Structures are given as C-alpha cells and as structure tokens.
Amino acid sequence: MKIYNDMTIWMVAGCQHLYGEETLNQVRSHTEEIARYMSDQDGISAKIEYKGIMTRPEEITDFCIKASADPSCGGVMLWMHTFSPSKMWINGLSILSKPILHFHTQYNRDIPWDEIDMDFMNLNQSAHGGREHGYINTRMKIDRKVVVGYWKDAQVHERIDAWIRAVAAVKDMRSGKVARFGDNMRDVAVTEGDKVAAQIALGYDVYGYGVGDLAAIIAAATDKQIDALVAEYQTQYEVAPELLPGGARHEDLRTAARLEAGMDNFLTEGGFCAFTTTFEDLHGLAQLPGLACQRLMEKGYGFGAEGDWKTSALVRAMKVMGKGKGGGTSFMEDYTYHMDPKNPLVLGSHMLEVCPSIAGGEKVKLEIHPLGIGGKADPVRMVFNVPGGSSLNASLMDMGNRFRLLINEVETLAPGKDLPKLPVARVVWKPQPDLATAAGAWILGGGAHHTGYSKDVTTEMLLDYAEICGMEALVIDAKTEIRSFKSEMKWNDLYYTMRAFSGGV
C-alpha cells in the first residue's frame, strides 16, 4: 500500500523505430522493470505505472491526452532510453496538463569496458537521447523536474519522491476548498490577497462564511459527540485536574469539545480541507477555538489564524507533502527572539493554535488559561514542547503580480528550559544561516509572520511544488547571503513583470 494510493505516476520511455524490433523489445522490458522496481521501493510514495514506449508522434499525443484527462494520473515520468526525436513530442507536450519529471537514467549502470560493442551503444543512448528531449522542453518553456542518476540509487529515489509528494499536494489543492470563518484581521496586510489569482495558480477555492453560520452548527453538536471527545482527550492527553469531570472548569472543556465537534461537522459536510478563524469575529462562539484548531490540524486540515487563508492552504499542502513521514507540520508564527549574540534563537508559537503533530511523542498537556484578546471566555489549549531536528518554515505572499513562496531552513533545538509560565505550545529554532541573515532576508523578501512549520517537508519538495504551480520561490538556507539574495529578488521582479505583460498569471 502506497502513501498516496489514489494517485499514480505514469512512466513511458521515448524511443523510435530506427533500431529494429529487438531493441524496442528490450526498451519495453527495461522500462517495465524500472517502473516496477521504483514502485516497490518504500521510499517512493506512489505507484509508478508503466505506460509503454513512445515511438511515433500519434502515440505520444495519445499518451499526453490520456494522462491529462485521467484524474488518477498525478504526473508523468519520461525517460529517453534511446534517442527519441523531439519533433514527435511537440504536439503531445503542448496538450499535456500534468507535471513532468524527466528521468535521466540509464538501464546499465556501468560501461562494460571489455564487452562494449555497437549494440550496447545503440541501446544505452540516454546520454544523448535525454539531451534531445531536454531541448524541446526548454524550447517550449515547459517547467519540469530533471532527475539524473542510476535508477537503483537511493538518492535518486529521494529526489523523485520529493516531486511525487509535491505532485500529490498539487493534485489535492486543485480540488481543495478553504472555509474562512470571519474575514481578515482588520488592518493586517500580508494575510490579504487575490483569491481569484490564488485559485488560478494553486487551484483551491476560498469560501467565506459569517461566523454565525458556524455558531449554528456548533450549537447543534450533540452531547454524544461531546462525551466521546472528552473521553478521547482523557486518554490522549494529560488533562489539567480542573478540566476533568467533577473539576471546577469541566464545563469549559465541554465547551471546547463542542467547538471541535461543530467545526468538524461543518468542514466534513462542506468537503473542506483547510480553514481559518479570527479572534476579531467570534460572535456566537464562547471561546476562541484553540483546542479545536489544534485537533483539526492534527487530523490533516490546513489552518490559518486571523483570516489567513494563504497560510491555511499552504499548511494543508505541506501536510499532504509530508504524509506518512511522522515529524509533523503546523501553523506557526515567529513569536519572540533570544538575542544573545553567542546563541541567537527564535521562539515560535501562536496564541493557541499549534498542531500537536510536531510534538514528536513529547507529553501534551490540556490546560485552560485566560486570553488577553478577543473578549471571550478562557480557551482550552494543548501545551507542549517540540523535540529538536532539522525543519523549515515556509510562507506564501501575494506580491501583486505573482505569489511568492519563501522558505527558511531551521534547526529546531530540544527545549533547554521548562518555560513553566508559558501557557501555549512552543518551538525553539536556530535559523539558517544565522538569525541576522535569515530574519534580514525574510524581511527583505516580504515574508509573512505566519508560516507553515514542518519537520517532514523539505526545501526540494516545496521548490517542486512552487515550480509546478508557476510560483516564485526564494530559499534562505546555509548558503544565503544578503547581497545576492537582494539581486535575486530584483531579477525575479523583472521576470514576473515581463511574464505578467505576456499574459501569465
């Protein structure tokens, strides 16, 4: 069973009739063998389906039409085992609407130095066949991923899997629906944006609801649902005694459970994959949903606070990309700094809404505390630390003529202190290459204060995702330095401005 079992990758080999039937038979069996071998790897998250060898323009066009039309096909993997003259591919490639991975591999790993003859040379032609294929894709300005290497190499599998994971997120968001409870937090700029442009580029549809629509469904949650959730909390978390049955604040826990049940009902009935809330619009809700947002994120929903639909959709996409990896993904905010020059750090958190998928087996406590904003009853929330490990933050902004994805690789540190008075989940990280460069580049890049934080998603997955969606992507990592980062942004501005003039999104 594959991680993405509702999606397959279609693999074909480019070829031609020049070399005779025997060579074609070998190409056929080699391509089938490679597709099967890759499919059998645990590190490859979707089935790779052999779909034949392409020897004529009609076959290529037919393959591209079928791949584009079949909803189960996430993307296509193309391998030029021999030389496949690329004028044959023009019509098909101009029709193809699925992401392309050009796999530049060779059936034989090693050159058989003592045995090599012209038959071997005629069969193992990827080295130049792949170049002919590269030319036509580049000439047609087709964005695609090129992976070079031997087909049994684990590093090659990892690169292909990053693309498969990005493809799965693209496929998910092409039919994704985001529910927005209440509007944007008043006066905040970065959480705004063009929802029509987002739907064109990224596929998801943002539905706005007055919070009253949600309040009615929350009010209709049944005692049975609430009882079941309260029982679940008691088995999964360390619940504060005052929240337990018989405790002074047990009713507040039931209110939190009612919020969760109602929101879950709303999102399930509407077929949503992500949602937003805002503390400025809570009419009819008793508490700002904290626990509910945390629990729903843990189930796989995207979430953005303060009406932030872009981050909500990004968190969902990142959750799909990271599926099955076990490290977790959450909505996040750079909250406060530790500016010790010897060890500068960032403490990430939010008012309440941090997903426990990133707790990594650490103890999760269920607590109730006052919230200084929103003017509502004290909200229940999960409180936990996050263990160390490599991770990243990503943020999505509307730049007016394109969306920009900004990625910062960070090293999460195991909690050194208890933080006994902090009533929210928290993460401590050291950004790459250092706080001064990372925060400087982030600010110059117009990066949002809200992010998707992940221990599963890699920069490569996000870059593949951005490329498939035609989005700008900027990376802040160990190699970043401000001067070249600024130049890169200026070049990008020019590119996207020119693209907008030529009718691009």
Enumerate binding residues for Mn ion (CB under 5 A): 305, 333
Nearer to Mn ion among residue 306 and residue 367 (C-beta)? 306
CB 188 to Mn ion: min, Å = 9
* Closest by Cα among 249, 245, 416, 389 to 328: 389
DSSP designation for 18: G
Nearer to Mn ion among residue 106 and residue 393 (C-beta)? 393
Reported as half-sphere exposure (CB side, CA atoms, 13 A), residue 482 has a value of: 11
Structure tokens at 21: 């039937």
CB 479 to Mn ion: min, Å = 30
The per-type count for the chain, helices as H runs and strands as E runs, is: 15, 19
Q: Residues 213, 222: contact at Cβ < 8 Å?
A: no
CB 262 to Mn ion: min, Å = 23
Nearer to Mn ion among residue 262 and residue 307 (C-beta)? 307
Q: Is the dihedral of CA 397, 313, 177, 224 positive or negative?
A: negative
DSSP-derived secondary structure for 350-383: -SS---GGGGTT---EEEE---SSSS-BPPEEEE
SS3 301: coil
Nearer to Mn ion among residue 34 and residue 274 (C-beta)? 274
Helices (DSSP H) in 76-210: which residue ranges? Answer: 90-95, 118-123, 126-139, 154-174, 195-202
CB 349 to Mn ion: min, Å = 10
CB 191 to Mn ion: min, Å = 8
Nearer to Mn ion among residue 279 and residue 485 (C-beta)? 279
- The residue nearest Mn ion at its CB is 305
Nearer to Mn ion among residue 151 and residue 303 (C-beta)? 303
* Closest by Cα among 83, 90, 7 to 45: 7
**Backbone torsions φ then ψ of 372, nearest 5 degrees:** -70, -15
Nearer to Mn ion among residue 27 and residue 397 (C-beta)? 397
Beta carbons within 10 angstroms of residue 389's beta carbon: 14
Nearer to Mn ion among residue 13 and residue 305 (C-beta)? 305
**CA–CA separation, 399 and 397 (whole Å):** 6
SS3 237: coil
Using CA atoms, how far residue 28 sits from 15, 21, 23, 24, 49, in Å, is 10, 10, 9, 6, 13
CB 333 to Mn ion: min, Å = 5
DSSP designation for 332: E
CB 311 to Mn ion: min, Å = 9
Nearer to Mn ion among residue 305 and residue 427 (C-beta)? 305
Helices (DSSP H) in 40-103: which residue ranges? Answer: 57-69, 90-95
CB 308 to Mn ion: min, Å = 7
CB 200 to Mn ion: min, Å = 27
**CA–CA separation, 98 and 255 (whole Å):** 45
CB 355 to Mn ion: min, Å = 14
CA 480 to chain centre: 22
CB 306 to Mn ion: min, Å = 5
Nearer to Mn ion among residue 55 and residue 349 (C-beta)? 349
CB 353 to Mn ion: min, Å = 8
Nearer to Mn ion among residue 288 and residue 407 (C-beta)? 288
**CA–CA separation, 281 and 183 (whole Å):** 8
Which residues, other chains included, contact 384 with Cβ-Cβ below 8 Å and sequence gap of 6+?
354, 356, 359, 362, 363, 364, 365, 425
Q: Are strands 302-304 and 274-276 parallel, antiparallel or unpaired?
A: parallel
Beta carbons within 10 angstroms of residue 322's beta carbon: 22
Nearer to Mn ion among residue 333 and residue 472 (C-beta)? 333
- For tokens 């130095």, the residue is 113
